[in-house]
Structure 1
């Protein structure tokens, strides 16, 4: 079973003496309701069932409220509406039901003209996000060309009998095959030592584009930008997902599988902004935040900054 939980409270500093120019996220956000003007809508998937099924460390279900808390005190520089649509909670082990409910909410938000930003939770959010976007687009196009851009140390293309945090992009590939849609998947920051040869072979069979973490150093920026631009040029709609374990463990300790190498935040944020600037972004999310493993809320703060960079 699944449920839409109440919107988490937003609290933070108020600089009343500095007027409206001193607004913060907690002062601008409002609950999502039908019929509101188009804006940015936050939607959480409170689940770590996928991480547990993938033999990871539990705790990611607390990711959405931790991201809201980290976002709340950030300065707000926009003029567009900002909404909080609450969370879909995975009750018991009904991950598949939660994913379907989340996809329906994403689809409705898109129908209403919003840019949905997902709050994870395990990376099982990716299949749910894509499914919601595909449902929305297929009401207007028979075979929409959706590009999936994943910043991640892992391909997440595993074979498994049940959905998990390790299977979302394989599930997307299977959905695309059944719907006669192209599977356009680009994974940036892959760790050679945290993906088996079988996964690299699976990526090759599915024509997955990817760059290894060691191919994404600051001095390689022009080549990485060109690689990303080529991918973006071949798609019509973009789904962007940011798995926080793509970052070095020193920057993002609050994940199930911290990266020994990783890709620096400077590059990840720059490339996410570049993808946003393409004008093709339709849906984005941040995944794999596990507050129980975080230190000084560092990972939550980084997740919040990445989300804010897609709005700014």
Structure 2
């Protein structure tokens, strides 16, 4: 075993070299002038989940994700960085989101591919704000592609894990940023009629979980590719409650159905292959409810797959 930067540790295979490296052996702290690479940034918050009436525990998500990422094999020589955590331990969610956004924007400004480690899905408004800061006065068309059982379009007095995409849509409209919101995995048993009405009013493109079987996959991939053809930048966000409960028990709100991995992974591959993904995050990992670290392992696999696919797309 080897102890690395920021608590990263894991197995060391011999002979040590590029073909035997794992993430914990490659990850470094980002410094000025470092070559662009993948940079993980944790959002250790479950304040939004608490405000939304969910079961808390997601604040422990970033640490659990690092443990599961540590032993994954390095598939290429893309630099890996750990930019640390932002927390909302004082209950100031809005302040934490702004701090996270500033850190994420700085990573984007220096050419890195940020990967957010949640934390509740309140990470999404923080990530969106960071992307908007990075874009500045530029007005490219941005698509948020969300895998989620929930719309997260609630109208509430205070921000929560149920409000981030409505906040993003309203912010984009106020600042003249063209924004499309697409969500895959919506559960009819987990969203009220007002949320469906809100999605329809806002022009949200959504696909229900019961419309995402293996036989539907070719058509869904084609539709997704057509939607992303006209956008300039993609923010990919994955709420782990989009997965079946057996694969993701450790979440704030377990799914009654979910999207099978056999469908999720080809969709993620198609998104990454566009070469337009600028930032991604994974949300709602709640380690206190994660038996045998099942959910954290699945989340790490998804991050591993997307970052490698995005790096490959950037080279072509």
Residues of 2 paired with 1:254 and 1:166: CA distance? 18
Residues of 2 paired with 1:120 and 1:51: CA distance? 11
Q: Pick one of 29, 32, 48 that aligns with 1:31.
A: 29
Equivalent in the alignment of 2:81: 83
Equivalent in the alignment of 1:146: 142
Q: Pick one of 231, 239, 242 that aligns with 1:243.
A: 239
Aligned pairs (5 A) from 1:87-166: 87-139=85-137, 141=138, 143-166=139-162
Q: What is the RMSD of the two structures over their aligned residues, measured on CA atoms?
A: 1.0
Equivalent in the alignment of 1:300: 296
- Is it true that 1:187 corresponds to 2:207 in the alignment? no
Q: CA deviation at 1:18?
A: 5.5
* Contact preservation (8 Å) 1:190, 1:211: yes
Equivalent in the alignment of 2:71: 73
- Is it true that 1:310 corresponds to 2:306 in the alignment? yes
- More divergent stretch after superposition (18-27 vs 207-216): 18-27
Q: CA deviation at 1:19?
A: 3.5
Q: Pick one of 198, 201, 205 that aligns with 1:202.
A: 198
Residues of 2 paired with 1:63 and 1:32: CA distance? 21
Q: Match of 1:123, SS?
A: coil
Aligned pairs (5 A) from 1:266-305: 266-305=262-301
Residues of 2 paired with 1:108 and 1:135: CA distance? 9
Q: CA deviation at 1:90?
A: 0.9
Residues of 2 paired with 1:231 and 1:252: CA distance? 28
| 1:133-182, Cα deviation, whole Å (9 max, x unpaired) | 1111124x1x2211000000000000011110000000001101110222
Residues of 1 paired with 2:28 and 2:293: CA distance? 24
Gaps of 5+ in 1: 1-6
* Contact preservation (8 Å) 1:186, 1:231: no
* Contact preservation (8 Å) 1:254, 1:292: yes
* Contact preservation (8 Å) 1:8, 1:65: no
With normalisation by structure 2, the TM-score equals 0.94
* Contact preservation (8 Å) 1:107, 1:132: yes
Equivalent in the alignment of 1:4: none
Q: Match of 1:45, SS?
A: strand
Residues of 2 paired with 1:8 and 1:156: CA distance? 32
Residues of 1 paired with 2:174 and 2:168: CA distance? 10
* Contact preservation (8 Å) 1:138, 1:144: no
- Is it true that 1:54 corresponds to 2:57 in the alignment? no
* Contact preservation (8 Å) 1:120, 1:286: yes
Residues of 1 paired with 2:292 and 2:64: CA distance? 12
* Contact preservation (8 Å) 1:127, 1:169: yes
With normalisation by structure 1, the TM-score equals 0.96
Equivalent in the alignment of 2:314: none
